[in-house]
């Protein structure tokens, strides 16, 4: 179980999260909605260990282990993946090389698996040779984030507005994949503003963030 207990967080000296409590089990979808600036993305970054987010009180537990002080790479190794709302661009790093390196896949079998995942999210093989997030449309970046979630096979997945800025058909495709991940035993935090996602996602628990507090 992924647990957040009495979490208080500051960003640039301002308190953003004010005593957050939540728990997420494998095979569960927890939807978090709420207005812009309410703290949803800050919560995602805090769980992932973003250094720009200062935890002042509370704990983050992963399967009983206190990970509050661990760096992001250690949380990733232990089973947490965060899909960024606005992924950074990296010049000179090819998407295929990145996916193979971080996933640990090697050789022809690894390349085949990466190609299959890209195809599943609607990206062609040509994306293997493009630079990481550079020159991609907003929708393509979202698809690449979803591809990473599939390929890296982590136990707990955080999707931060992966359905923003994409068309209805893409939203429906993304949600089918998210449902498949849940059925495969992944615990999912799904942060969204999209009313279609709220309507179509099944068997979910929904919380609303307002003013740094979850309701």
Q: What is the pLDDT of residues 103-117, one digit of tens each?
A: 887 788 889 999 999
Residues 6 or more apart in contact with residue 64 via CB below 8 angstroms: 1
CATH of residue 152's domain is 3.40.50.300
Mean pLDDT estimate for the chain:
93
pLDDT of residue 91: 87
Distance CA 46, CA 3 (A): 12
pLDDT of residue 101: 86
Is residue 26 within 8 A of residue 187, CB to CB? The reply is yes
User: Is 77's pLDDT higher than 80?
Assistant: yes
pLDDT of residue 85: 80
pLDDT level of residue 182 (50, 70, 90 thresholds): very high
Residue closest to 182 by CA, chosen among 21, 31, 5, 3? 31
pLDDT of residue 86: 80
Q: Determine the average pLDDT of the residues in 67-83.
A: 96
Q: Determine the average pLDDT of the residues in 94-105.
A: 87
pLDDT of residue 213: 96
Q: Determine the average pLDDT of the residues in 73-98.
A: 91
Count the domains in the chain. Answer: 1
Segments forming the whole domain that contains residue 58: 2-214
pLDDT level of residue 5 (50, 70, 90 thresholds): very high
pLDDT level of residue 202 (50, 70, 90 thresholds): confident
User: Is 53's pLDDT higher than 80?
Assistant: yes
- Give the global pTM: 0.94
SS (H, E, C) 108-171: HHHHHHHHHHHHHCCCCHHHHHCECCCCCCHHHHHHHHHHHHHHHCCCEEEEECCCCCCCHHHH
From first CA to last CA, the distance across the chain in angstroms is: 20
Least confident of 25-29, 106-110, 191-195: 106-110
pLDDT level of residue 96 (50, 70, 90 thresholds): very high
pLDDT of residue 161: 93
pLDDT of residue 165: 82
Q: Determine the average pLDDT of the residues in 20-48.
A: 96
pLDDT of residue 214: 94
């Amino acid at each position: 179980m992924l647990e957040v207990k009495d979490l208080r967080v500051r960003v640039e000296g301002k308190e953003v999260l004010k005593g957050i409590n939540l728990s997420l089990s494998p095979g569960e979808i927890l939807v978090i909605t709420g207005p812009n600036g309410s703290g949803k993305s800050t919560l995602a970054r805090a769980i992932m260990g973003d250094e720009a987010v200062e935890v002042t009180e509370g704990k983050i537990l992963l399967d009983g282990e206190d990970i509050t002080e661990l760096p992001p790479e250690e949380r990733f190794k232990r089973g947490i993946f965060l899909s960024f709302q606005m992924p950074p661009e990296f010049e000179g790093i090819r998407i295929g090389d990145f996916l193979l390196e971080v996933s640990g896949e090697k050789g022809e079998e690894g390349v085949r698996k990466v190609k299959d995942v890209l195809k599943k999210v609607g990206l062609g093989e040509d994306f293997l040779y493009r630079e990481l997030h550079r020159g991609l449309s907003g929708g393509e970046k979202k698809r690449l984030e979803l591809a990473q979630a599939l390929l890296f096979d982590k136990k707990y997945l955080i999707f931060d507005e992966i359905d923003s800025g994409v068309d209805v058909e893409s939203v429906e495709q993304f949600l089918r994949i998210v449902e498949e991940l849940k059925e495969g035993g992944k615990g999912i935090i799904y942060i969204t503003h999209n009313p279609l996602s709220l309507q179509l996602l099944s068997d979910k628990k929904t919380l609303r963030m307002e003013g740094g507090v979850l309701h």
